[in-house]
Amino acid sequence: MSAITVNSKQRMNSGFEIPVLGYGACLSSVRNQIPNRVACPQLITTLRPADICEDVVRQAFKAGYRHVDCAAAYLNEAPSGKAIRESGIPREDIFFTSKVFKRDLSYEGVKSQVDKSLKESGLTYLDLMLIHAPFGGSQGRKGAWKALAESVEEGKVRSIGVSNYGVHHLDELEQHIKELEEEGGKGKGGVISVGQWELHPWLPRADIVEWCKKRNIVIEAYSPLVRGQRLDDKDLSPLMKKYEKSAAQILLRWSLQQGFVPLPKSITSSRIQDNAAIYDIKLTEEDMKSLTFDNAYSPSAWDPTSLQSQRELASHLYLGSAVTALTVMATVFNIFEFDRMLRSKKRSVVKHMGPFVTTTGLQCTKEELAKAASDLQWTYAQQANHSSQALDKSTDAPAKDLGNEFVWECELEWRFINLVNYIGERDMQKYDMSVSPNSASYQGD
């Protein structure tokens, strides 16, 4: 392997190049943290204004990053795009990624989302567009891919790929590409340039990595720092001492030497800089082996690639529907209590500590709060209906389709987050800059 530097890039199957280190802007505008319980992910969200995202992307550029990873679901395309446009750095020197979320996983949905992402970011093209996760069922995924391939031909997107796909999803996509090539037509089959997964020593995903490397697909690693959960691991200590580097820097260097493109995120200026200071060391073969755990499986967040977790998800959604209903009711109650506290002028430090949002100084009308309550109730009914249907058909449906059309990760929380983000952008006076109420030691992922 040639020496890796701040200017190193990998060539993709599309013919374009991608910087080997990216800045993960994931939820730097709206933070979404899911503990390591796939079957029961309690969502803790801290609202962050768009200018925070814009500022940290600028800091990343100052630290040498030229690669920004965003997603439509995280509401960070606009502030990231603004930071790019105003950076003074030539557009061709910056690599910008976005992703299509599950609700848009269809042909028409992706066509619309690509245009929306261009509008939101203010950019004339997207360097990379990924399918965020393999939801939507087989037909939804296939339609989404065809739309991405056409977007490449139209010049709106330069390279395309997938995120969180399991091997069976990748096999399905490969076959679909062959079919599209045979059929001809606009965009034809497209090429898989990039695949993105949570990857680190405790989640090596050997089967997926092997599949991609055989096809020269660039592998991106999100959560390369395991969301701060392993920074005190005993296996890192000897290497930290040997190289006089932090645990985060050792993990990022490990990722680079695996041939991955790591996407660390942080909103702290010093950590953004530290995460980029990894080019002056090289781990030895023995060092790399010391961080090789072949059979490890410890995701720090969700894992849509895992069949087991999808089955657990189905069971949880069905059996836990009563708990979910109570959670929604409690949240709605707390929203109105929050509003009452604000209107009684207790506004210096007001925190709602429910399962959906932590923020300070939020001002909103009763009509907006009522809309939030209505949306939450409607979404709960839809979610419960999807989970019931999924279990009803689980006996005769292909195992790989379980969980594709219903995902707890999104709708209930997402509608509320979107509404709060809108209110916050308009009226917020103060912001809670802590990471979350119960993760004081969190250092990014």
Q: Where are the domains of the chain?
A: 9-290, 307-427
Mean pLDDT (the chain) is 75
In the predicted model, is pLDDT for residue 337 greater than 60?
no
To the question of pTM greater than 0.75 for the whole model, the response is no
In the predicted model, is pLDDT for residue 47 greater than 80?
no
pLDDT band for 259, please (50, 70, 90 cuts): very high
pLDDT band for 135, please (50, 70, 90 cuts): confident
Which CATH number is correct for 9-290, 3.20.20.100, 3.40.190.10, 1.10.10.10, 3.40.50.720? 3.20.20.100
Task: Identify which of 98-102, 193-197, 368-372, 400-404 has the greatest average pLDDT.
Answer: 193-197
pLDDT of residue 136: 82
Residues annotated as part of the active site: 74, 132
pLDDT of residue 244: 98
3-state secondary structure the chain: CCCCCCCCEEECCCCCEEECCCEECCCCCEEEECCCCCCCCCCEEEECCHHHHHHHHHHHHHCCCCEEECCHHHCCHHHHHHHHHCCCCCHHHCEEEEEECHHHCCHHHHHHHHHHHHHHHCCCCEEEEEECCCCCHHHHHHHHHHHHHHHHHCCCEEEEEEECCCHHHHHHHHHHHHHHHHHCCCCCCCCEEEEEEECECCECCHHHHHHHHHCCCEEEEECCCHHHCCCCCCCCHHHHHHHCCCHHHHHHHHHHHCCCEEECCCCCHHHHHHHHCCCCCCCCHHHHHHCCCCCCCCCCCCCCCCHHHHHHHHHHHHHCHHHHHHHHHHHHHHHHHHHHHHHCCCCCCCCCCCCCCECCCCCCCHHHHHHHHHHHHHHHHHHHHHHHHHHHCCCCCCHHHCCCCCCCCCHHHHHHHHHHHHHHHHHCCCCCCCCCCCCCCCCCC
pLDDT of residue 30: 42
pLDDT of residue 267: 86
